[in-house]
Amino acid sequence: MSYLREMKGVLLRVHCYEADKELMQHDQATFRNFTSVFMLLGSLLSFLVAAPRAEAAPGNSGITYQGRILKPDGSSLEGSNVQFRLQIRTPDSGGCLMYEEIQAIDMRNSKGVFALTMNDGTGARTDVTGLTLDRIFGNFGTFNLGVGTCTTGTGVYTPNAGDGRALAVAFKDETMTTWELMPSQKINFVPLAFEAKQVQGFTASQLLRVVEADGVTPSLTPLAPLSNAEYLKLKDLAAGNVTNTVDSSAIVNGSIAGVDLAPNLSISTTGTITTSSVSSTSSVTRSFELLPASGAAGITFSAPAGVTNYNITYPSGQGAPGHVMVNDGAGNLSWTYVGARFRSPGSMGTNGLWFRMGSVTVTAQYGYVDSLIDFHSTGTYDTNPASGRISFRLKMQDPPGGATAASVQVDSTSASLRPDDVRIVITSNVTGGSTVAELWVRMQNNWNELDYHPIEVSSSSGSANFAPSASLQAAPPTGSQTINATMGMSAWQRVGARNENGYGAWRNISYMEGNVGIGEANPAVKLHVSGTMVSQASSVPTGAAVDLAISNTTVLNSVGGSSIALTNLVNGGNYTIVIKDPASRTYDFTGCSTKKWLPANAATTASSWSAYTILTLDNGSGGFDCMITWASGYQ
C-alpha cells in the first residue's frame, strides 16, 4: 500500500486504496471498480463563514473539496461529463441527510484532478431541507429532518457543542449507470475553531445575545455598540434601579409619578394597573380621560372626595334602544326599560294614593257604540312584597249626553305586578255624546315608590297620545245592525247575537237568525261559506292512532302494523287517511261497528302510498257504521 506524499491545501484525511487483483482481472475494463483501485485526494480547504469565496452562492458559505481519480491501470479518469454527488449528513448513528448537491464537470485533460465547491451556484441542490450551510454547521437548536433520508432513527437531531458533520461523496462518468460511493468522511474542527467556540473562556450561553423572532436564524443587521452611559443604564435596570432611566424629579418615594405617557403608548398586562397613595402636598389629580379616535376633547372620569371603595360590573351586551342601566344594590349593572316613575310624597297608609297615568276621549256622532280602551304594560315589574299591593283602574268621568260607562279595576294580588289587560267598555247612544277614560295606578301599604313600570296604551278608539278619535255613521242603523268603534269612520254591518269576546273581531263574519256566514253577508244555512275551506292535515310520524277531532285529513308515515285505531268519530263525518308506509299490508280500522268496503279490502301495493276515505254514520246504538273507499299504488 502506498500513500500520496504531496497534497494541495489542508489535508484532513487521505484515503488510498490498493486494487483487488482478482477483481481487476475479472473486470479491468469497467469503472465499477474505481473505488477499489483509485487514489483519491480529498481535502476540505475552508469552511467559508467569515469570508466566503467569490464563487459561493450570494449570502452563504461554501465548502471546497478536491482530489484525483485514477483508473486501475494507473491512468487518470478524464471523462467529458463526470458527475459528483456531495452530501452532508448528521454525525450520529442516524446519518440523516442535511444537504445534497450534484455537480457535473468536464475532466478531459485534467489528469484526474478535480476541485468542487459546494453551494457556489454551479451545482443543483437536490435535498428538501432548505437549510443553509451556516445553519447546517451551527451546533444549536434542533433539526427535524426527513426520516426517509436517515439510516436509523426518527429524523430528529440535536447537536452537541463539539459535533462535526459527515461528508459523503459519490461519482460517475458518462459510461457508468450507478454511483460509486466513497467512504464517509468526518468534517472536524480545525484547531483554532475551538477558540471560536468561546470568548476568553466564556461560551455562547454565557454572553448577552440578540435572537431573531424565529429563535434560530442569527442573521440580524449588525447592531451599534452600546455607549458607556447606555451600559450603565442597562446595569441599573437589571438591578431594579430606575434613577438613571427616568428623570429624578418624576420619582416620588421610589415610585414613578407625574409622568405623562406618550399619546400612542399601549399598555398590555395580565395583571392590574393601580395607583398608590400620593403625598398630601402633591397636586396630582387622580383621574383618567377617554379621548376619541381624533380630536383633543374627551371625557374625564374621577372619583368624588370621600368615596369608599366599591365595585361596578357592567352588562355583557350593549342593551336595546330605550334601555338604561340599573344597579341591583351590589354594583351589578343591567339593562332595563324605564317608563313612568312616580314617587309618593310620603308614607301612604292602607288606602294608598292614586296616580293618573293617561286618558283618552271617545265621541259618538250617532247611535250605539262600544269602544274598547285597552291599557296594557310592557316589561317586568318589581317583586310585589307581601305587605304591598298595586292596583290599576280605568276611571270614567261623568259622561255627558247620556253616555254610560262601566268602570273596571284590576288589583295585583300575587307576586307578579303585571296586569296584561286592563280594559273598559264605553257606550253612547246620543249624538255628540263623549266621555273620557283614564288609567290610574294606586300604591298601597309599604309601596312608597313605583319605579320602572312602563305603561302603554292601545285603543280601538284612541291613539298612543290619547287624541280623540272614533266616529260613527250619521245615519241610524237598520234592523239589528251595530258596529265596534274603530280608528276613523266605520260602516254599519248586519250581525246577529254577539258576545263579550268579540270586540272588533267580526270583520266579514255574519250572524243572522241562527245562521253563520263567512264571506257571506246573508247566510241562508247554518254555515254559509263563500270561498275555500281548508282543513290542515295532521301528520303522525310513527304509530297507527288517528284522532279524528284534530283534522279531517291524517297522514300516517310509519304504521308498523295492519290495525289502525280511530277515535272521536262524529255522525256524518267525512275523513281521509293517507298511508305512506312502504310495506304491503291489509289494513283494518277499529272504532267502526260496521265496515263496508269499496273495493273489497285487500293488501296495499308495496313501495307506494295508499289513501282511504271514510264516511261515518251514527247507527242509533251508540256506534258508527263506516263506508270505506280506498286505492293504493300512488307513485
Task: For residue range 603-625, list pLDDT tens digits in order.
Answer: 999 999 999 999 999 999 999 99
Among 353-362, 366-375, 380-389, 507-516, top mean pLDDT goes to 507-516
pLDDT of residue 291: 79
Q: Are residues 159 and 235 in the same domain?
A: no
Q: What would the 3-class secondary structure string for 517-546 be?
A: EECCCCCCCCEEECCCCCCCCEEECCCCEE
How far, in Å, CA of 522 to CA of 230, rounded?
105
Q: Are residues 178 and 229 in the same domain?
A: no
| Mean pLDDT, rounded, of the chain | 68
Mean pLDDT of the 156-175 span: 92
pLDDT of residue 258: 56
pLDDT of residue 292: 82
Mean pLDDT of the 312-317 span: 90
Whether 448 is in a domain gets the answer: yes
416 touches 390 (CB < 8 A)? no
- The tally of CA atoms less than 13 A away on the side-chain side of residue 228 is 0
> pLDDT tens across 278-298, in order?
444 444 456 777 778 777 788
**Identity of the amino acid at 192:** L
How far, in Å, CA of 634 to CA of 580, rounded?
9
Q: Are residues 107 and 184 in the same domain?
A: yes
Q: Are residues 38 and 149 in the same domain?
A: yes
Residue matched to cell numbers 273598559: 424
How far, in Å, CA of 96 to CA of 156, rounded?
9
pLDDT of residue 356: 53
Whether 305 is in a domain gets the answer: no
Taking the CA atoms of residue 452, residue 458, residue 461 and residue 465 in that order, the dihedral angle to the nearest 10 degrees is: 50
Q: Are residues 557 and 448 in the same domain?
A: no
Terminus-to-terminus CA distance in the chain, angstroms?
A: 97
Mean pLDDT of the 435-455 span: 44
Band (pLDDT 50/70/90 cuts) for residue 552 is very high
401 in helix, strand or coil?
helix
How far, in Å, CA of 394 to CA of 402, rounded?
19
C-alpha cell at 241: 434601579
Band (pLDDT 50/70/90 cuts) for residue 333 is very high
Q: Are residues 439 and 568 in the same domain?
A: no
Of residues 341 and 134, the one with the higher pLDDT is 134
pLDDT of residue 286: 67
Of residues 296 and 460, the one with the higher pLDDT is 296
How far, in Å, CA of 131 to CA of 118, rounded?
13
Whether the model clears a pTM of 0.85, i.e. scores above it, the answer is: no
Residue matched to cell numbers 409622568: 259
Of residues 582 and 307, the one with the higher pLDDT is 582
Q: Are residues 40 and 158 in the same domain?
A: yes
Cα angle 115-120-126, degrees, rounded to a multiple of 5: 100
Q: Are residues 153 and 62 in the same domain?
A: yes
pLDDT of residue 304: 82
CATH number for 146: 2.60.40.10
Whether 136 is in a domain gets the answer: yes
Contact partners, residue 67, CB within 8 Å, separation at least 6: 40, 41, 42, 43, 113, 114
Residue matched to cell numbers 504531496: 6
Mean pLDDT of the 155-166 span: 92
Residue matched to cell numbers 428538501: 128
Strand partners, 87: 100, 168
8-state DSSP, 2: -
Q: Are residues 441 and 588 in the same domain?
A: no
Of residues 390 and 308, the one with the higher pLDDT is 308
Q: Which of 440, 459, 478 is the last residue of a domain?
A: 459
For 174, counting Cβ atoms within 10 Å of its Cβ (0-12 exposed, 13-18 middle, 19+ buried), the class is: exposed
Domains identified in the chain, total number: 4
Q: Which of 153, 179, 195 is the last residue of a domain?
A: 195
Band (pLDDT 50/70/90 cuts) for residue 469 is very low
Band (pLDDT 50/70/90 cuts) for residue 450 is very low
Whether 380 is in a domain gets the answer: yes
Judge if the upstream peptide bond of residue 599 is cis by omega within 30 degrees of 0. yes
Whether 39 is in a domain gets the answer: yes
Of residues 185 and 57, the one with the higher pLDDT is 185
Of residues 383 and 60, the one with the higher pLDDT is 60
pLDDT of residue 273: 59
Whether 518 is in a domain gets the answer: no
Whether 125 is in a domain gets the answer: yes
C-alpha cell at 546: 288517528
pLDDT of residue 34: 40
429 touches 402 (CB < 8 A)? yes
Band (pLDDT 50/70/90 cuts) for residue 217 is low
Among 265-274, 278-287, 554-563, top mean pLDDT goes to 554-563
Q: Are residues 191 and 125 in the same domain?
A: yes
Structural domain boundaries, residue 185: 15-195
Q: Are residues 455 and 574 in the same domain?
A: no
Q: Are residues 165 and 243 in the same domain?
A: no
pLDDT of residue 287: 72
> pLDDT tens across 491-534, in order?
444 444 443 333 333 446 776 667 888 878 778 888 888 888 88
Mean pLDDT of the 413-427 span: 42
Q: Of 126, 148, 114, 119, whose CA–CA distance to 39 is shortest?
A: 114
Q: Which of 434, 459, 484 is the last residue of a domain?
A: 459
pLDDT of residue 200: 63
Of residues 298 and 392, the one with the higher pLDDT is 298
Band (pLDDT 50/70/90 cuts) for residue 269 is low
Q: Of 163, 164, 182, whose CA–CA distance to 172 is shortest?
A: 182
pLDDT of residue 235: 82
Whether 315 is in a domain gets the answer: no
pLDDT of residue 20: 33
> pLDDT tens across 25-47, in order?
333 333 333 433 333 333 333 33
> pLDDT tens across 173-208, in order?
999 999 999 888 998 877 666 666 667 667 767 777
Cα angle 525-531-532, degrees, rounded to a multiple of 5: 105
Share of the chain above pLDDT 90, in %: 31
